[in-house]
Amino acid sequence: MSRRWDACDVNQPQIARQVLLCLDDVLCQTAVVLLIRREGHLILHDVPLVDTFAEAFPMAVCRVIVTAARRTWAEIAGQVATGYAASVIGCDAEAGIERSLGPEETPDGRPGVSLLFFGFGRDSLQKAVVNRVAQCVLTCPTTACYNGLPVVKEKAISVGGNLRYFGDGWQFSKKLEGRRFWRLPVMDGEFLCEDLFGTAKGVAGGNFLIVSRSQTEGLAAAEAAVAAIREVPGIILPFPGGIVRSGSKVGSRYKKLKASTNDAYCPTIRPLVPSQLPEAAASVYEIVIDGLDLPAVESAMRVGVSAACRPGVLMITAGNYGGKLGPFHISLHRLFAESSAPKPA
C-alpha cells in the first residue's frame, strides 16, 4: 500500500498552520495531522509541544533471536530474559522485546521473538547477555538462540562460546555458512546457541513526557503512544509496559543515590519545589525509547508524541540534562517541523 506525503503552509496573523496530508492511493482516504505555530509555540492536535529536546546517548546493542517449538514458549523466554532491565542506573542492561517473528523470519523455521539488549560497553553487554540467556533461555523448554546483527569479529560478543561449558564436555559445535553453533545436551534434547553475536552502536534515552489533567487521561495517552511506537522497527521500550511513572533526575540529597525522583514533574509537591508543571496538571508519564540507531529513535518519538496528543493532555515535553550527558539532542519541534534529522551536539 503506497502513501504520498504532501505539505502546505497557510499564513495568518500570528498563526502559521502546517498541514500534513497522508493520501492513501489505494483507498483514496485522507488523514490530516494539524500543526499550529502560535507565537513561537508548536501545537499538535491541540496539545502544546514544549520547545525542548530529549537527550540521548550511545550504547552498545545486540539483537538476540529466540525461537521455540511453540510461540508461547518463545514469548515466555523473551519476557523473562528481558525482565529487570529498565535502566542501567540499577540494572545490568536495558532490554526489551523488539517484535514477534514468524517461522519464515527465523533461522530454524520456528516461531520466535527478537530481543534487543543495550549496555554501556561490549564487555558489560556480553556479561549481561550471557547471564540472561543462561538463566532464562537455556532453561526454557524447546528454545534456541541466534544472533540477529552482522558480526564484525573485533566487535562481537561471545554468547554460545561461553555457554558451551554448561555441557560439561558433552557439548559440540557445527559451522554452517561461516557461522558456528554450539549444541548442548539438556534434558528435553539439545539447546542450540550461536557462538558469536554482532554488536552495533545504538542510541538510548530517547524520551518524551506526557503531562495531563488526570491520571486516567494521562495513562490512556501513554498507552496509545506505546501502541503506536511498537509498530516502529529497531526500537524497544525498556520500562514496564513501555511507560515510566517514576521519572528521575541525576543525584539526590542522599549521597548514596545516583538518581532520585524528578520533583519538578511531581504534581503532589508542586507548591514546594521549582515545578515545571502547569496548574491543572495532575499526572505525568514518561516514554523512554532505545533504538538501533538515531533515525529509529526519532521515528518512534514522532509517532508516539502524535498518538499521545489526546483529550486531557495539557502538554508534551522531554527530559534532558542541559546537554551535558548525551551527544544526541532530539528537538520536539524539529521532529515535526523539519524532515532533516537532528545531528549530535
Q: Could you read off the pLDDT of 262-289 as tens digits, one per residue?
A: 999 999 999 999 999 999 999 999 999 9
Strands (E), 136-264: 144-147, 157-158, 172-176, 179-186, 189-194, 196-197, 200-212, 235-236, 248-250, 259-261
Please answer whether residues 155 and 199 qualify as being in contact, where contact means their C-beta atoms are separated by less than 8 angstroms.
yes
Mean of the pLDDT values across residues 155-162?
Answer: 98
Q: Which three cell numbers stand for residue 326?
A: 548525551
In sequence order, the 6+-apart residues with CB closer than 8 A to the CB of 160 are 145, 173, 180, 181, 182, 193, 194, 195, 196
Q: Are strands 189-194 and 157-158 parallel, antiparallel or unpaired?
A: unpaired
Distance CA 176, CA 179 (A): 5
CATH of 43-56+203-337, one of 3.30.70.520, 3.40.50.720, 3.40.1260.10, 3.30.930.10: 3.30.70.520
Looking at residue 338, what is its pLDDT?
A: 62
Distance CA 62, CA 170 (A): 28
Distance CA 241, CA 62 (A): 21
Q: Could you read off the pLDDT of 188-208 as tens digits, one per residue?
A: 999 999 999 999 999 999 999
Q: How confident is the model at residue 90 (pLDDT cuts 50, 70, 90)?
A: very high
pTM for this model (two decimals): 0.88
Closest CA to 93 of 135, 134, 124: 124
Q: Which three cell numbers stand for residue 94?
A: 536495558
Domain borders along the chain are: 3-39, 43-56+203-337, 59-200
In sequence order, the 6+-apart residues with CB closer than 8 A to the CB of 60 are 118, 119, 120, 121, 122, 125, 199, 200, 201, 202
What CATH number has the domain spanning 59-200? 3.30.70.520
59-200 matches 43-56+203-337 in CATH topology: yes
Mean of the pLDDT values across residues 246-262?
Answer: 93
Residue 23 has pLDDT above 90, yes or no: no
Please answer whether residues 315 and 50 qualify as being in contact, where contact means their C-beta atoms are separated by less than 8 angstroms.
yes
